Chains A and B, each alone.
Chain A
Amino acid sequence: MKTTGAELIITLLERQGIEIIAGIPGGASLPLYDALLRSRRIRHVLARHEQGAGFMAQGMARVTGRPQVCFATSGPGATNVLTAIADAKLDSIPLVCITGQVSTALIGTDAFQEIDTYGLSIPITKHNYLVRDAGELPRIIPEAFRIASSGRPGPVLIDVPKDVQMAEIEIESLPLPGMPEAGQAFDMDRLRAAADMIHSARRPILYVGGGILAGGAAEDLLRLAEKAFIPVAPTLLALDAIPSNHPLNLGMLGMHGARYTNYALEACDLLIVVGARFDDRATGKVEAFCPGVRIIHIDIDPSEIEKIKPASIGIVADACDALRAILPMVEARGREEWMDEIRRLRTAYPLELDGEDDPLAAYGIIRGAAACLPSDAIVTTDVGQHQMKVAQAYPFRSPRTWLTSGGLGTMGFGLPAAIGASLAAPGRIVVCFSGDGSFLMNMQELATLAEENLDVKIILLDNRSLGLVHQQQDLFYGGRFIAVNFPVKTDFAGIANCFGIPSTRLGEAGDPAAALEEALLSHGPHLIHAPVDVYDKVFPMVRPGGANSQMLTRA
């Protein structure tokens, strides 16, 4: 079979089941796009910035759990997409990014739009390729998908020079699509020892992270928690791993966790860590995090065991496999004493959300929005105060409905990720909670949103400031504010209209709660603008570098 490198790439992507690719073309990716034009299975979504394309692919990947694809051209196209790739690396999201590159003969000559994409992407990808011969593509493309989706998922970048895209080659047969490798066998003796440890523990806690979602282990987590009465403290990335209203859900731990959550962790005698990595935002000062407590650490990535905290028992395993295997070994137990203690902590140190009944305050808007949304609604956020408030206040109900940039904390994630989520889940409402600082970072994707006419609602909490920086300058830098406020008012509702997207000004609505509901339940894209007070902080808060037991609360 005679084909070109570009056609072969498109054919192999079709065989991977790819239906939508987000991207922006350019000089070095013209052959790839010309081949894409002839595809009947793949639709291209034209982003307005390559970072937006990367986050759209992430949105699709976070909702489906399968690797998704974005395209960018060489040089600035590639540098623009790097942030979205780095974000996928830190949150273990399967992504395959294909970049155009100048022709092989020009590499190393500082050619127009030439950059060392391969070199730049090494530290932010799980693996990367510079394709030197079109004949390598039948190996590389399936391998990229296999690597992106096997073990701990992550992004893979494939840099394809223009001459490789144009090269005509003869291939005998097409390779099989790249699929995730089966989970590795794990040490059953250690698992048995872990089950014994769980049984003998009086005050165990499950501290669970994104690995639960990546492994599709949410149901297995619940079974274990319910069988042995083990409270669950999810990380930011795992908030949708367990329903927020489940009696065993302790809520998010860490820097902005509830006081009872962090106090419960302080009181536990066994920490069962599954698919989590002791991130500093979760643990606070690591020496003071559950000191002396026995730890069972289950993670699919061997380099995570013992990276930050030594474990009594470390098990390298997929979260789902491990939880399924340990469930029959763990004896059912009531743990009344521990449940009483958790209840006491909840009552004594509750999560206090200032203004949760006020339809014009951040927490009130979040709660109000949640009340009108169906249970399968997908929530994305940007990064900052609004993100932490949604994490604290939104009632999560099922897995893969919560898309947030955790590890890299990328402002600008929310809107393009929401577009990607909506592309992957047509028929479901996607709500993007954003702040004015974050929203300004990828606002150009309003054009993509209008063009695609997706059911994405943006709730923009506008405090005319970089709120979380403002909060830290106020709390930890003596209220010396610098480079944090936006003195000139931006008309975000008007901006949405200019892009052809209807908007609602909550601050001017006679009945803001009704206006919010009407906007959320309208069809198609909509921006809901809500002015909020810049001094309306996120509490509790652990001082950066401080111990989780030392939480600041509202004055």
Chain B
Amino acid sequence: MNPMTPEPLTKMNTVLQLTVSNHPGVMSHVMGLFARRAFNVDGILCLPLPDPSRSRIWLRVCEDKRLDQVVRQVEKLADVHEVRRHPGDHPVFLSLGRFFAD
């Protein structure tokens, strides 16, 4: 089976932690890679790091067999310095629940 073929979405999530250069345009670079593959990203969080030349982007994405490939593409971006993967229950998004209530 061609690993590039999308498969039905499952409810399993993965949280990605990206350390990136802090300048306008980095978010477009990263999100473009997910968007063109119609890869579901349902949570985005980004703030500068104490070193002001760096930012951290947190993404919550659906676990899908194309994830490895898209992560490798993200790792290739010149402005992305590190990518780490966490389980979907990582607290970074869970703690934000109260801002997303009706």
Contacts and interface: CB of A to CB of B under 8 A. Distances in A.
Given A307-B3, A308-B2, A127 B28 contact: no
Contact of B76 (A118, A122, A123, A303): A303
Contacts of B2: 286-287, 308
A118 B1 contact: no
Interface centre among A118, A130, A303, A308 (most CB of B within 10 A): A303
Nearest to B79: A127
Contact of B69 (A119, A127, A307): A307
Contact of A147 (B4, B29, B78): B78
A301 interface: yes
Interface string A136-174: 000000000001000000000000000000000000000
B11 interface: no
A161 B75 CA distance: 29
A127 B76 CA distance: 10
Chain B interface size range: 10 to 19
Contacts of A123: 32, 36
A301 B75 CA distance: 11
Contact of B78 (A119, A126, A130, A310): A126
A283 to B, nearest CB: 10
A301 B76 contact: yes
Interface in B16-72: 24-25, 28-29, 32, 36, 68-69, 72
A119 B24 CA distance: 11
Contacts of B28: 119, 122
Interface residues of A, number: 18
Given A287-B2, A307-B3, A127 B72 contact: no
A302 interface: yes
Interface in A7-57: none
A130 B29 CA distance: 13
Given A127-B78, A147-B78, A307-B4, A122 B29 contact: yes
Contacts of B79: 127
Nearest to B71: A303
Contacts of B72: 302-303
A122 B68 contact: no
A252 B2 CA distance: 23
A128 B77 CA distance: 10
Contacts of A286: 2
B95 to A, nearest CB: 31
A118 B28 CA distance: 10
A287 B1 contact: yes
A127 B32 CA distance: 13
Contact of B4 (A126, A128, A308, A310): A308
A128 B78 CA distance: 9
Interface of B: 1-4, 24-25, 28-29, 32, 36, 68-69, 72-73, 75-79
Given A287-B2, A307-B4, A310-B3, 15 more contacts: A122-B25, A126-B78, A127-B78, A127-B79, A147-B78, A286-B2, A301-B76, A302-B72, A303-B73, A306-B68, A306-B69, A307-B69, A308-B2, A308-B3, A308-B4
26 contacts: A122-B25, A122-B29, A123-B32, A123-B36, A126-B78, A127-B78, A128-B25, A147-B78, A286-B2, A287-B1, A287-B2, A301-B76, A302-B72, A302-B76, A303-B69, A303-B72, A303-B73, A303-B75, A303-B76, A306-B3, A306-B68, A306-B69, A307-B3, A307-B69, A308-B3, A310-B3
